[in-house]
Amino acid sequence: MSDADIMEVRVDEDKVQTEARACGLCGSTRSKLWLRADNLRRGTKRYFDVVECLDCSFRFTSPSPTRESMRLYYPEHYESWQGSLSLPLRVYYRLFRAIPRPPGRILDIGCGHGGYLYLMRELGWTCSGQDISPVPEAVTRDFPFFKGEVQDAPFPAGSFDVITSWFSIEHLRDPLLSLKKCHEMLKPGGLIAIDTSNSDSLEASLFGRYWHHLLVPEHYWQFTEESLRRMVEAAGFRVVRVRHDALSFGFINSLQHMLKDRKIPVRIANPLTKLLTVPFDLAAAALRRSALITVYAVK
């Protein structure tokens, strides 16, 4: 989800129905307002409340769209699979989605257009995919694929050596239940890698509702390093590493959202300005306040 800079979608928000949510980590219904935001990245106008649980401090959107209404915020189809990975995408995957294990069986949750599956297959992995949205026909033809919620996946217990979740856990309606299902599907000693945005990041603190990775209401959950670690452990895993990613490119995109909201017609988000903000990303990672974090845990 992070590779899109500004991708607007058309939503008839008058049709969006909402429902109150309990905390996805501890189940509490007690919360306080953390942030109220629209979605400048997608161009939608409705404001949603991101609240903080009074019992465990987990942040989430409540009320949030119902299951049916949430579908209005997603494009009906992903872009068509082109059959080859671009060089920048290959470099990105190698830098930030490498698996520190020899090839085995891997499940990619939220596999989308399937680019990661194709690369991992090239590297010798036996790949399967899952997503709640339609994916290109090539993905369903080339890999075992399940369309539906993670907890309903038909893969038998102990099926996989590795499960990956790249920018998808924040989209799941029940992330804890999904992680428990992942624990079941992994072999003993299996590895899970989970990447998501960090609401305790410097970017989030600086930009608030303009933060590029906030993305309400599609992001039900706004994780921090602490809350993601606790949820992974609650599902039965042992966390072995938490990485603060060195590049997010969210600073310049967040600033672009701010300018757009203030009707300042200046386009500043481009490859050069993103490179100029790399020192900010590196400093945030060094301070362990990166906008993007990855947790590695074992069964």
Average pLDDT over residues 119-141: 93
Domain that holds residue 64: 13-73
Question: Would residue 145 count as lying in a domain?
Answer: yes
Question: How far apart are alpha carbons 67 and 139 in whole angstroms?
Answer: 25
β-bridge mates for residue 194, sequence order: 165, 295
- pLDDT attached to residue 80: 46
Write down the pTM of the prediction: 0.93
Question: How far apart are alpha carbons 204 and 217 in whole angstroms?
Answer: 16
Q: Are 219 and 292 in contact (CB under 8 A)?
A: no
Q: Is residue 27 located within the same domain as residue 99?
A: no
Of the listed ranges 2-6, 164-168, 276-280, 293-297, the one predicted with least confidence: 2-6
182-193, pLDDT tens digit by residue? Answer: 999 999 999 999
Taking Cα atoms as reference points, which of 220, 273, 266, 223 lies closest to residue 251?
Answer: 273
Instruction: Return the percentage of the chain with pLDDT > 70, whole number.
Output: 94
Which residues does 109 contact at the CB level (< 8 Å), separation at least 6? 130, 131, 150, 163, 164, 165, 168, 169, 178, 182
Q: Is residue 57 located within the same domain as residue 97?
A: no
Q: Is residue 246 located within the same domain as residue 133?
A: yes
Question: Would residue 151 count as lying in a domain?
Answer: yes
Taking Cα atoms as reference points, which of 49, 74, 53 lies closest to residue 63?
Answer: 49
Q: Is residue 64 located within the same domain as residue 106?
A: no
For residues 83 and 169, which has the higher predicted lDDT (pLDDT)? 169
- Average pLDDT over the chain, rounded to whole? 92
Q: Is residue 123 located within the same domain as residue 268?
A: yes
Q: Per residue, what are the HEC states of the chain?
A: CCCCCCCCCCCCHHHCCEECCCCCCCCCCCEEEEEEEEECCCCEEEEEEEEEECCCCCEEECCEECHHHHHHHCCCCCCCCCCCCCHHHHHHHHHHCCCCCCCCEEEEECCCCCHHHHHHHHCCCEEEEEECCCCCHHHHHHCCEEECCHHHCCCCCCCEEEEEEECCHHHCCCHHHHHHHHHHHEEEEEEEEEEEECCCCHHHHHHHHHCCCCCCCCCCEECCHHHHHHHHHHCCCEEEEEEECCCCCHHHHHHHHHHHHCCCCCCCCCHHHHHHCHHHHHHHHHCCCCCEEEEEEEC
End position of a domain, from candidates 42, 73, 104: 73
Question: Would residue 197 count as lying in a domain?
Answer: yes
Question: Would residue 172 count as lying in a domain?
Answer: yes
- pLDDT attached to residue 42: 82
Q: Is residue 23 located within the same domain as residue 163?
A: no
Question: How far apart are alpha carbons 177 and 171 in whole angstroms?
Answer: 13
96-105, pLDDT tens digit by residue? Answer: 999 999 999 9
Q: Is residue 142 located within the same domain as residue 208?
A: yes
Q: Is residue 122 located within the same domain as residue 262?
A: yes
Q: Is residue 96 located within the same domain as residue 124?
A: yes
- pLDDT attached to residue 82: 53
Q: Is residue 153 located within the same domain as residue 193?
A: yes
Question: Would residue 3 count as lying in a domain?
Answer: no
Tell the residue number behind the tokens 């009906």, with chain if given. Answer: 76
52: tokens are: 């903080």
Q: pLDDT confidence of 8, banded at 50, 70, 90? A: low
Instruction: Return the percentage of the chain with pLDDT > 90, whole number.
Output: 79
- pLDDT attached to residue 84: 66
Using only the alpha carbons of the chain, give its radius of gyration. Answer: 18
End position of a domain, from candidates 51, 73, 95: 73
Question: Would residue 7 count as lying in a domain?
Answer: no
Question: Would residue 129 count as lying in a domain?
Answer: yes
Question: How far is the CA of 122 from the CAs of 84, 85, 109, 263, in angstroms?
Answer: 11, 11, 19, 46
What CATH number did the domain enclosing 236 receive?
Answer: 3.40.50.150
Question: Would residue 120 count as lying in a domain?
Answer: yes
Question: How far apart are alpha carbons 57 and 191 in whole angstroms?
Answer: 27
Q: Is residue 119 located within the same domain as residue 255?
A: yes
Q: Is residue 291 located within the same domain as residue 228?
A: yes
219-260, pLDDT tens digit by residue? Answer: 999 999 999 999 999 999 999 999 999 888 899 999 999 999
| Total domains, the chain | 2
Q: pLDDT confidence of 13, banded at 50, 70, 90? A: confident
